[in-house]
Amino acid sequence: MYKIVAKRVVAPNIYLMDVEAPRVAKSSYPGQFVIVKMDEKGERIPLTICDIDKERGTITIVFQTMGASTKRMAEYEAGDCFADFVGPLGQPSELVHEDIEELKKKKIIFVAGGVGAAPVYPQVKWLHEHGVQADVIVGCKSKDMLILEDEMKAVAGNLFVATDDGSYGYKGFVTDLLKEKVEDEKMGYDLVIAIGPMIMMKFVAKYTKEQGIQTIVSLNPIMVDGTGMCGACRVTIGDEVKFACVDGPEFDGHLVDFDESMRRQTLYKTEEGKKLLEFEEGDTHHHGGCGCGGDK
Ligand SMILES: Cc1cc2nc3c(=O)[nH]c(=O)nc-3n(C[C@H](O)[C@H](O)[C@H](O)COP(=O)(O)OP(=O)(O)OC[C@H]3O[C@@H](n4cnc5c(N)ncnc54)[C@H](O)[C@@H]3O)c2cc1C
Ligand code: FES
């Protein structure tokens, strides 16, 4: 069992929890995720690792209530336990493998949409701890939906906030603010890392491709087993089929087929849609036709 040692509401319908999971904490890196199960029969919920405390043996998760499972999860309090907390899953961010001196020469900017600030935070914190300054743009609907502002300010070079309604910071989308910062010659960014809704990442990548700026995105397709067997999280990167849970979740944003990913996301919600995908994708639908039954 995995005990929740702290819980707080960070914005309307967005919750932060510190969970006791020493083995996960020991081997986790920024960019990876966990799959949480509330009880034996509960759905598997993939959530990005938002912070790691190796000494306390805790992992921080930040989640927004979307449907039944996340709403149930929000009712859990400090002292309650999750039945399962599997991780770390996926590949760590590419940044943790790069030469620190080379990273210091780069001008990096993160673009986070909504709860995407949660997966951005551990990467910016890791860079800060290694002496690398990175700027951050966080976008949300309104001021009350902004999360982790103080935490982000403590580790980011510059923190720029955009709200859709103009209630705080720049009025408009993160993509517009990114354009403004890129066009400001003093900024001279040469690496963009975008994490948020698929549509946001699509438009960030489209713009940075035109500008010739290297871009990494973190994909969040439907995931079921998280081990590369069920095929739920299949994505097309360039001319290759990849599985976000084992090959990602981070990929070269200029190579991602976002339209296909968004279509799969919609189709995967119904049995009929899943059958259509199976028909269209053949063997690769289940990663080589493993017959595991996908989401069963
Ligand atoms: C690698 C990864 C990291 C993620 N990190 C975070 C995070 O840090 N914070 C956060 O709030 N959310 C995160 N998500 C999304 C989160 O997993 C879903 O919001 C959650 O599973 C919704 O479950 P539900 O039953 O409450 O909602 P449902 O009503 O079942 O679904 C609502 C929507 O959530 C998405 N979703 C549902 N099930 C899954 C699933 N198994 N895998 C992926 N997406 C799903 C779909 O878009 C769906 O339309 C992440 C997803 C992935 C794949
Ligand atoms: S969740 Fe990635 S293959 Fe099943």
CA dihedral of residues 268, 271, 275, 277 (deg, nearest 10): -10
- What's the confidence (pLDDT) of residue 296? 40
143, 163 in Cβ contact below 8 A?
Answer: yes
Domain 94-218 CATH (choose: 3.30.420.40, 3.40.50.720, 3.90.1150.10, 3.40.50.80): 3.40.50.80
Prior bond of 88 cis (ω within 30°): yes
Alpha carbon 118 to chain centroid, angstroms: 7
Question: What number of CA atoms fall less than 13 Å from residue 4's CA on the CB side?
Answer: 22
Residue type, 87: G
Domain residue ranges of the chain, discontinuous segments joined by +: 2-89, 94-218, 221-291
| Intrachain domains 2-89 and 94-218 with the same fold | no
Index of the ligand 2 atom closest to the CA of residue 245: 2
CA of 168 to the centre of ligand 2 (A): 38
CA of 45 to the centre of ligand 1 (A): 6
Tell me the helices (H) and strands (E) count for the chain, helix number first. Answer: 10, 17
pLDDT in 10s for each residue of the chain, 296 residues: 999 999 999 999 999 999 999 999 999 999 999 999 998 888 899 999 999 999 999 999 999 998 888 999 999 999 999 999 998 999 999 898 899 999 999 999 999 998 999 999 999 999 999 999 999 999 999 999 999 999 999 999 999 999 999 999 999 999 999 999 998 867 789 999 999 999 999 999 999 999 999 999 999 998 988 888 888 899 999 999 999 999 999 999 999 999 988 888 887 777 777 777 777 777 666 655 444 444 44
Taking CA atoms only, the protein residue closest to ligand 2 atom 4 is: 230
Question: What number of CA atoms fall less than 13 Å from residue 232's CA on the CB side?
Answer: 23
CA of 183 to the centre of ligand 1 (A): 34
CATH class of 2-89: mainly beta
Q: Which residues lie with the beta carbon below 6 Å from any ligand 2 atom?
A: 223-226, 228-233, 243, 245, 287
